[in-house]
Structure 1
Amino acid sequence: MAVSIVDGCTISTADVAFGLVIGTAGTIQATGAVDVQCTADLDFVIKMDRGLNNLGRNRRMRNPTSNAYMRYELYSDPGYTSRWTDRRNGQVSGNSGATGYQTLPVYGELTFDGTAVSGRYEDTVTVTIEF
């Protein structure tokens, strides 16, 4: 018998769900996660694109019924200062450690101005891992 172990990673995500918005204007914060499973002690970099509904560098969720949008952002830090992107300075680096498993929190912030049409808003962000 023989076995070969190769470097590799898989990722899964837990959505950032802002829940119900009731009010005229404000900011809502919510968290999600990126779960990383790699070969032990492997360095990796995680990138997030701007989503399907972006406008320039702004991420937006879309209401498919009314074609209305709401701006939001994803961050890698609890202070909501480091945007998580696919640009070099917005990527998150890590190491899988001895267990090969890491959970990285995703911090989301939704800002609404009171003009949004009621309904469900959503977006899809592609998360990529390089090792």
Structure 2
Amino acid sequence: MRIRSMFCLSVIVIGQIPYASGATTTSVSVSAQIIGGCTINGAVPASGGAVGSFGTLDFGSAISLSCTPGITVMMSLDDGQHPLNGSRAMMRNGGTERVTYSLYRDSSYSIALLPGTPFTLDTSHSPAPLDSPVYGRATPDGTTPPGQYSDIVTVTIQW
């Protein structure tokens, strides 16, 4: 019985010992490397990967970019899926007839976007979104049958 009493007394006494408290501080090194790049229409492209469709060019649209400041950004457009005699062309859905068209950087159709010819984009206002307008003008020859015509042009952004 005496051993039991000693054990209970020991547990009670140990429970009453105050714990030491304190505080310590340390420093943590934080660093980051910002790599120049762009997002295209809000998406971050994988290296060499596609971002997706920019939508239908109803002959007046824009490609929106956000880039880190201080990088040189080049953009080019290919000749599309249905080129005809060195020009871009849209093909009639369900047919083989084509309508040639041209793409431009301005609404007055004076700055042509020639297939495969890169041009520099002004990123001095980055990271604010940069809209690069694309305008189109179709040139049907008068013998083109009615119907829906379309083409897909690949846009390449390099930095």
State the TM-score, normalized to the length of structure 2.
0.65
Q: Where does residue 121 of structure 1 map in the other structure?
A: 149
Give the alignment's Cα RMSD to 1 decimal.
Answer: 1.9
User: What CA distance in whole angstroms lies between the structure 1 residues aligned with 2:55 and 2:113?
Assistant: 15
Q: CA deviation at 1:93?
A: 0.8
Q: Provide closer, same or farther for how the CA distance between residues 95 and 82 of structure 1 changes in structure 2, counting only shifts above 3 A.
A: closer
Q: Where does residue 111 of structure 2 map in the other structure?
A: 82
Aligned residues: 117
More strand by share: 1
User: What CA distance in whole angstroms lies between the structure 2 residues aligned with 1:4 and 1:34?
Assistant: 27
SS at match of 2:89: strand
Give the counterpart letter for 2:57 in structure 1.
V
Q: Where does residue 37 of structure 2 map in the other structure?
A: 8
Which protein has the larger Cα radius of gyration, Structure 1 or Structure 2? 2
Q: CA deviation at 1:42?
A: 2.1
Q: Where does residue 66 of structure 1 map in the other structure?
A: 95
Q: Provide closer, same or farther for how the CA distance between residues 73 and 127 of structure 1 changes in structure 2, counting only shifts above 3 A.
A: same
Deviates more, 1:103-112 or 1:93-102: 93-102
Where do 1:12-31 residues align within 5 Å?
A: 12=41, 13-17=54-58, 30-31=59-60
Q: CA deviation at 1:73?
A: 0.5
Q: CA deviation at 1:66?
A: 1.9
Q: Tell me, which stretches of 5 or more residues in structure 1 are unaligned?
A: 18-29
Q: Provide closer, same or farther for how the CA distance between residues 14 and 93 of structure 1 changes in structure 2, counting only shifts above 3 A.
A: farther
Give the counterpart letter for 1:60 in structure 2.
A
State the TM-score, normalized to the length of structure 1.
0.77
Q: Which has the higher contact order (CA 8 A, sep 6+)?
A: 1
User: What CA distance in whole angstroms lies between the structure 2 residues aligned with 1:51 and 1:92?
Assistant: 18
Q: Tell me, which stretches of 5 or more residues in structure 2 are unaligned?
A: 1-29, 42-53
